[in-house]
Chains A and B, each alone.
Chain A
Amino acid sequence: DARVTQTPRHKVTEMGQEVTMRCQPILGHNTVFWYRQTMMQGLELLAYFRNRAPLDDSGMPKDRFSAEMPDATLATLKIQPSEPRDSAVYFCASQRGPSGTDTQYFGPGTRLTVL
């Protein structure tokens, strides 16, 4: 049963520290999304990639957030420096292709707490 995996599942850190979250998309999926979920804002799209190239990162605070796909099996989301307002659950999702009809498969999320 193919799944999107995310590490770590939980992260507690102090303000100012660097945080790196990792995602392994489903093998063969060429589109990867990063979302952030909070009680106040709901589910927000931060960035997404197709064939490892960034297509849209307009939802991401550019000054502190960065997203990359070093290879087809790994996507990373980095926050440097982290702030308490970054506390949220971060989800990665992957999709087989570019079609608007394709299903997104979500990972279990990384729960980030910034103290």
Chain B
Amino acid sequence: AQSVTQLGSHVSVSEGALVLLRCNYSSSVPPYLFWYVQYPNQGLQLLLKYTTGATLVKGINGFEAEFKKSETSFHLTKPSAHMSDAAEYFCAVSEINSSASKIIFGSGTRLSIRP
């Protein structure tokens, strides 16, 4: 079965600094990988996803993630943090079987931005 592990439940960076949120996955088949973001008092929304093709995936709000099969990782990065990036971020992998597909979410990483 597929699973994801997010390293660090809370990450704090200064405004303008690099954002790096770590995610490792486990999958016996080629994975489909996602990053979702949740702003306070809102539902989750998709930041970006990897399905096939280019391993560097660009998403909204300047975020990107790179699929590294050899490291089973899909870390999320942003070169320069903005105060509006403060939110909870979820890495996810799609679990596919013959009849259905669902997403397995990680435990989330709360990103705080220091002025």
Contact = CB atoms under 8 A, between A and B. Distances in A.
A98 B100 contact: yes
A12 to B, nearest CB: 16
Interface residues of A, number: 23
Interface in B69-102: 90, 94-96, 99-102
Interface string B7-48: 000000000000000000000000010000000011111100
A103 B102 contact: no
Contacts of B51: 101
Nearest to A101: B51
A91 B43 contact: yes
Contacts of A55: 99-100
B43 A101 contact: no
Contact of B100 (A42, A56, A91, A104): A56
A2 to B, nearest CB: 13
Chain B CB count within 10 A is highest, among A33, A42, A99, for A42
B102 A101 contact: no
Chain A CB count within 10 A is highest, among B43, B44, B51, B90, for B43
B107 interface: yes
